[in-house]
Amino acid sequence: MKTVIVVAGTRPEIIKMAPVIRALQRNKIPFTFVHCGQHYDYNMSQQFIEELALPPPDIAFKIKIASPAAQTARIMLNMADLLKKTAPVLVLVEGDTNSVLAAALAANKHGISVGHVEAGLRSFDLRMPEEHNRRLTDHVSEHLFAPTRRAEANLKNENVWGKIYVTGNTVIDAVHQHLPIAKKKSRILEEIRFERFALATAHRAENVDNLLVLKNFMEAFAESPLPIVYPMHPRTKKQLHKSGLYSKVKKSRNIQILPPVGYLDFLVLMKKCELIITDSGGIQEEATAPCIKKPIIVIRLSTERPEAVEAGFATVAGTEKNGILSAIDSALTSRKQLPSESPFGDGKAAEKITEIVKTLF
């Protein structure tokens, strides 16, 4: 029987593929759900699958390898074995992680079509491993599901050989589908000690593995005019302990550190907060969903989501303390009216992608 393989390896991939999986189910298109195991910790993967009421993965790899190269190679080998057994008509991947590149390369080597959800994003910052992953994946994909016209233009400028479709981003679908569930199930606000707060995340290797940048972040959070609620990524916590900064941050009255929170809890925090400070790409998109609609301070040197900046949602503040504080002040004082529509689509991306997948059967 013909089948589609749907690949996810990290929390963001699971979230963004959830609407696609549901659309495949509604349209009765057979698929095999594969979890690549890039995030093998329960809190970083299985928790999200259960929260979103998705079917459990048909196949789950457990990749406990720290090296990015070894991790990518192991996922490729596991995918190669699976592809030999299943011979799918299409392998669907989403985003820019090691799982995405490994699955796409394995499919390409077996002559199997690759569909790349969220194709065409570019930060033009080659220090980011994700930039390499997304570019390489785009160039081996036969079906490129671009979230925006800008992403489409990026692909055309690189002369990709696959067919390009502008679908919107499934992350907007996911927010619309899951926020009502989150409001019913989440109790996270009972734990928050501030009535008004900014929500912060920081996890990227080029940020948290750089002691100077990490110190800038923590000092900016401590001095922010709006208290900070900070669900802390394990990688960040490890680096703070290693540098001796953790106890100082923990004692700050202006910062409330939370353990990693589930997706539904995070949606509720985004809905409640006044401002989002992040180095995450996906959160820059989620914050633009009409049901969230929050200003975003991007604590990076660049963004592969310039549409959020151009639409007025996001400000790229860099990684210096003063730049971050200045951006927070500006966002709080201007209180500008944000657009009523997201630049990343109308929440129907998964249906558009599924209609295209149908033609392969």
- Model pLDDT for residues 158-179, shown as the tens digit of each residue: 999 999 999 999 999 999 999 9
- Work out the mean pLDDT of the chain and round it to a whole number: 93
CA distance 306 to 315: 10
> Terminus-to-terminus CA distance in the chain, angstroms?
10
Q: Collapse the DSSP code of 162 into the 3-class scheme (helix H, G, I; strand E, B; otherwise coil) and give the result.
A: coil
Structure confidence by residue, pLDDT tens digits, 122-163: 989 888 889 999 999 999 999 999 999 999 999 999 999 999
Query: pLDDT tier at 234 (50, 70, 90 boundaries)?
Result: confident
Q: Would you state the pLDDT for residue 222?
A: 97
Token pair, residue 97, equals 């992680």
Distance CA 275, CA 171 (A): 19
5 alpha carbon, distance to own chain's centre:
20
Cα separation of 29 and 3, whole Å?
8
Distances (CA, A) of 228 to 6, 150, 258, 267: 37, 33, 11, 16
Residue type at 140 in one-letter notation: V
Query: Does this chain's domain 4-169+345-358 share its CATH topology with 188-334?
Result: yes
Residue 203 is among the residues annotated as catalytic for this protein: yes
The vertex-90 CA angle with 84 and 92, nearest 5°, equals 110
pLDDT bin (cut points 50, 70, 90) of residue 74 is: very high
Measured over the CA atoms of residue 109, residue 110, residue 112 and residue 117, the dihedral's sign is negative
User: How is the chain split into domains, by residue range?
Assistant: 4-169+345-358, 188-334
Q: How far apart are CA 349 and CA 361, in angstroms?
A: 20
**pLDDT tens digits along 77-129:** 999 999 999 999 999 999 999 999 999 999 999 999 999 999 999 989 888 88
Least Cα distance to 12 among 236, 256, 205, 266 occurs for 266
Gap between the Cα atoms of 212 and 207, Å rounded: 9
CB 100 within 8 A of CB 176: no
Per-residue pLDDT tens digits for 235-275: 899 999 999 999 999 999 999 999 989 889 999 999 999 99
| Residue 164 bridge partners (DSSP) | 144
More confident position, 42 or 147: 147
Whether the per-residue pLDDT at 43 is higher than 80: the answer is: no
Euclidean distance between CA atoms 205 and 195, whole angstroms: 31
Q: Which residues contact 156 (CB under 8 A, 6 or more apart)?
A: 164
pLDDT class of 64 with cuts at 50, 70, 90: confident
Residue 213 has φ and ψ, to the nearest 5°, of: -65, -45
Question: What is the third-level CATH fold of 4-169+345-358?
Answer: Rossmann fold (3.40.50)
- Measure the CA–CA gap between 307 and 225, rounded to whole angstroms: 27
Residues 6+ apart with CB under 8 A from 157: none
Tokens found for residue 284: 């820059």
User: DSSP character for 323?
Assistant: H
- State the chain's maximal CA–CA distance in angstroms: 59
The per-residue pLDDT for 41 is 61
- Strand, coil or helix: 33: strand
**pTM for the whole structure:** 0.90
pLDDT-derived band at 42, boundaries 50, 70, 90 = low
pLDDT of residue 36: 87
Instruction: Quote the percentage of the chain above a pLDDT of 90.
Output: 81
Instruction: Please state the length of the chain.
Output: 361
Q: Tell me the Ramachandran region of residue 120: left when phi exceeds 0, alpha when psi lies from -120 to 50, beta otherwise.
A: left
Contact between 294 and 270 (Cβ < 8 Å): yes
- Residue 65, pLDDT above cutoff 80: no
CA distances from 342 to 13, 112, 132, 292 (A): 20, 34, 27, 10
Q: Which residue among the candidates 139, 203, 233, 241 is catalytic per the annotation?
A: 203
Q: Which of 8-12, 166-170, 193-197, 212-216 has the lowest mean pLDDT?
A: 8-12
Where do we find the tokens 């690189």? 158
- Which three-class secondary structure state does DSSP give residue 134? helix
**What pLDDT does 194 receive?**
97
Q: What's domain 188-334's superfamily in CATH?
A: Glycogen Phosphorylase B; (3.40.50.2000)
Q: d(Cα 350, Cα 361) in Å, to the nearest integer?
A: 17
3 state SS of 94: strand
